[in-house]
Structure 1
């Protein structure tokens, strides 16, 4: 058994197609078929059930794919480590971030980082907080910019800046005359929440429950601007980070501080506890922590 066999097999499973796997690997489809057949012969099992329309993993195939993925990740880490030893000034960091949060915190820091480390490429993608954790855990991205808390058994969390959540209301809402409000006073209000895949959804629900009530949810959305627009049309109120409320920039909205209990919103960088973190990624984490830590 060699790495090429595992690589071909894993790519076929990932792409769910011999043809697409051949395109990704830049080899012919017969070559891939031959290599996988040799792997099956060597192991003495069938790994893939093949038909004209679909391809399915056997039980043995699922087991081999699980181990092959881990072995390929180890090989990738080995090659990355050796490459870094040859040239410490080159590398690539895959960064995941929550929508809006990244644009609030990172642009200036990234500009400074690129000035100091011009040879390190940064690849950035947006995910909801819950999906971002999955992407980091599965090794698809190196570092995630998210909010606390996270599973500390799976991730190393590097705390960054923190801010509070505020209520946003229509300017003619009864709250608009107030500078602050306790959360318990909002028990009869209709809430516009972010969808369940966003960390803010759980934070708001849990805060309301601790204040003795279940929030009445009028609508849910995954878009920051749309939440602001719904509040501006008097469909309900919402709780958002202060920096987001400031960016909504809608004259129909008023921001009101939550006085009791204050709801903190802590940003953090996370990476896998049991995974390899490249020198380039470690440099990025240290640089961001230096410039954004509270």
Structure 2
């Protein structure tokens, strides 16, 4: 059944006249007659009584006209809703973010995005980097922030932040005051690592393995603050992103660069390549690509 059949039929039913319907539709009268006849043939019924000068609806015609008007109204509402979605830029996105580090990146991004797209709702849920991929695969989030590398055959990526990992030690540690240290010099140090569901755990473990040793993990945690407090209490050392280390002015810790090898810490926004992305999701991703996030130095200093 063609939607035009219903449209033409509804116009003839409205005017009870083929000529007037033809003028209203800007379609030739023979075309309208042919379309309605095909509708009658398809349904196997007579919809119009053409015996009189003024066209009348049969009982079946009245029923079809009633339903046709509902369908045409729904179609008009659908078209209007789609146009409103695109033209008025509304929608909803659900985003997986990393605890703590995302607080340095996204407040300004979201504030700027909301000015341009006030009708798009952004919902953020905190996950570890490894959980982001799992939640996205399960359809629980539209896209998320994670640590590179990822499988680029499955995910598109938008780079967000690239920085180095640094060592944090207590003010009384033998490395306190040093500007840099080689990673291999840390082989006998007690490490405070993040748990295995955190990508940072794998990054640190792999770097140490490549340097020829396995880190002695005296404690593993999922809490940034707890990790840093333990270092401050002289219970061990830890490797964290420099942007996080710059926030620790209130603790009795110092930051030491790793001279060899430098360990990259790269964050990216990722999204599924093989799944439909909503209008709102595409606009948010495009906005981030055009406005790469930057960590505010003032914000770091206040912390």
TM-score norm. by structure 2 comes to 0.68
CA shift at 1:101, angstroms?
Answer: 1.9
Look up the match of 2:85: 87
Look up the match of 1:123: 123
The reply to whether residue 144 of structure 1 matches residue 135 of structure 2 is no
Partners of 2:191 and 2:217 within 8 A in 1: yes
CA shift at 1:143, angstroms?
Answer: 1.1
Look up the match of 2:212: 212
Look up the match of 1:165: 165
Partners of 1:156 and 1:272 within 8 A in 2: yes
Q: How many residues are aligned here?
A: 215
Look up the match of 1:258: 258
Look up the match of 2:286: 286
Q: Distance in 2 between matches of 1:81 and 1:232?
A: 61
SS in 2 for 1:130: helix
Give unpaired runs (5+ residues) of structure 1. 1-79
Written as runs of structure 1 = structure 2, the 5 A alignment for 1:1-294 is 83-88=81-86, 89-292=89-292
Q: What are the superposed Cα offsets for residues 56-87 of structure 1, whole Å, 9 maximum, x if unpaired?
A: xxxxxxxxxxxxxxxxxxxxxxxx99954442
TM-score norm. by structure 1 comes to 0.70
Change in CA separation of 1:139 and 1:202 when aligned onto 2, cut-off 3 Å:
same
Runs of 4 or more off by more than 6 Å in structure 1?
none
Bigger radius of gyration among the two: 2
SS in 1 for 2:202: helix
CA shift at 1:250, angstroms?
Answer: 3.1
CA shift at 1:290, angstroms?
Answer: 2.1
Partners of 1:132 and 1:144 within 8 A in 2: yes
Partners of 2:193 and 2:220 within 8 A in 1: yes
Change in CA separation of 1:184 and 1:276 when aligned onto 2, cut-off 3 Å:
same
Partners of 1:170 and 1:234 within 8 A in 2: yes
SS in 1 for 2:176: helix
Change in CA separation of 1:81 and 1:205 when aligned onto 2, cut-off 3 Å:
farther
